[in-house]
Amino acid sequence: MPSMSEKIILCLVVVLLASFGVQADVIHYSATLEPDIANKSVKGSVIIRVRTTSNVVEFNCGNLTIDSVRENGKALQFSVNDHKVKVSLARGQGERNIQIQYHGSPRYGIRFFPDRQQVYTVFSTSQWMVCVDDPADKATLTFKLILPANLTPIANGELVSQRELPHNKRVSEWQQRTPISTYIFGFAAGPFRVVKEKHGNVELQYLATNYSEAEVRRIFRATPDMLDFFEDRAGVKYADKTYTQVLAAGGVEQEMSGFTALKESYGKQLLDNEQELWLAAHEFAHQWWGNMVTCRDWNHFWLNEGIATFIAAAYLEHRFGREVYLREIETYRANYEKVRAAGKDKPLVFPDWLNPTREDRILVYDKGAYVLHLLREEMGEANFWKGLRNFTRRHFGKSVVTNDFLVAMEEAHAKSLKPFFEKWIV
């Protein structure tokens, strides 16, 4: 996620999460979505395979209108309240397949640009697909997207098929085989130029509209090196077969599983100044920290954003030298100092991330990254990176809390880091 935008959206999502009560574990989503770019609306259906012992399940549904809920073709009773659909199940146990049809005109979570023929999602998945918003409930996904045939779409996982439909439409299908949190489900589509390059086993794709192929290649010339750097620092290979960066309309800066949407003007910034790599590095880093090692709830959000922010500075150090790294760290420190001077400092682990303020977000991003720099100084080079690799390897594909990070770092350091954590983090 970006530093400052999407703040309001995040608040809303977290409010929704806080009121999510009924226990269920989603195994798999199989969704079909047809966005109408001109009308800024969606219609869709999703089969949610859920494991529950209860005869009631609840899913987040944003402001969507629920048209029907079925199991094995049979209509189920449901009610919608407070952005959730509550479904009464027939008797039974174990895995259930609940099919929900819906439509709506989401005001956030998905952005439409009719004059540019573009559409993409941003973070709040339940605004365009009924799902469970809890970041700890990871699931696999089969996703079919129906759009005008002239548009190039990208979504999570592997593109497995594309088929032409009547009226110049096309359905594309992706399989996301590794379980992921729903907030990184998403897609983007537009009349994009596609530029590809292979790096090791990963296919890198760059999508843009108003840059030439040569410019696109120049804009993303650091991406292969970033992939190597993050794999090395994570101690874990990149999880997908492809990684895509999209330069999209509007002011977007959003990681999703397997791809990132970036604002178009960022391309120009990178053409003008090679050192503007922070944003691309931050979003790419989320493919490990955030997407694969995910905060279990938003109170531990600093593990997603603090690490991605810090590691982006570490990438700048790797590419441009120590001075550039220290300049970046100094920016984080100064941003944090302003919050502290205003009396708004808090531990990085929040008691509740219900209505985060602008200052709260600076803490999670900038203080988080600054504290990781201090921890690196405290532990020394070898121990710090060994600890980060321990943490990332051990929890790859899982959800974490701050104590998991402490344990991994202490193991690498072979002595207690509790005083440090108590001073800065918890």
Binding site for Zn ion (CB under 5 A): 1, 305, 308
Q: Are 244 and 234 in contact (CB under 8 A)?
A: no
H or E stretch at 214: helix 213-219
Angle at 317 between CA 388 and CA 333, to 5 degrees: 80
- Looking at beta carbons only, is 69 or 308 nearer to Zn ion? 308
Closest CB 7 distance from Zn ion, rounded Å:
12
- Closer by beta carbon to Zn ion, 133 or else 305: 305
Alpha carbon 220 to chain centroid distance?
Answer: 20
CB of 316 to Zn ion, least distance (A): 16
- Give me the least distance between CB of 22 and Zn ion, in Å please: 30
Report CA 271 to chain centroid distance, whole Å: 26
In contact, 189 and 154? CB cutoff 8 Å = yes
DSSP for 229-241, please give it.
Answer: HHHHHHTS--SSS
Query: Of 305 and 359, which has the nearer Cβ to Zn ion?
Result: 305
Nearer to Zn ion among residue 98 and residue 308 (C-beta)? 308
Q: Among residues 308 and 339, whose Cβ is nearest to Zn ion?
A: 308
Helix (H) or strand (E) holding 260: strand 259-263
Q: Please tell me the distance from the alpha carbon of residue 141 to that of residue 152, in angstroms, as a whole number.
A: 20
Taking the alpha carbons at both ends of the chain, their separation in whole angstroms is 23
* CB neighbourhood size of 254 (10 A): 25
Q: Give the shortest CB-228-to-Zn ion separation in angstroms.
A: 21
Residue 204 or 256 with smaller CB distance to Zn ion: 256
CA distance 154 to 151: 10
With CB atoms as reference, the residue minimizing the distance to Zn ion is: 1
Q: How far is the CB of 305 from Zn ion (least distance, A)?
A: 5
Least Å distance between CB 94 and Zn ion? 37
Distance between CA atoms of residues 355 and 297, nearest Å = 14
Tell me the closest approach of the beta carbon of residue 232 to Zn ion, in angstroms.
Answer: 20
Please say which residue, 78 or 353, places its beta carbon nearer to Zn ion. 353
**Which stretches of 158-224 are assigned E, i.e. beta strand?**
158-165, 169-180, 187-190, 193-199, 202-208
Q: Which CB sits closer to Zn ion, 118 or 309?
A: 309
At closest approach, how far in Å is the CB of 163 from Zn ion?
A: 35
The DSSP bridge partners found for residue 119 are 112, 189
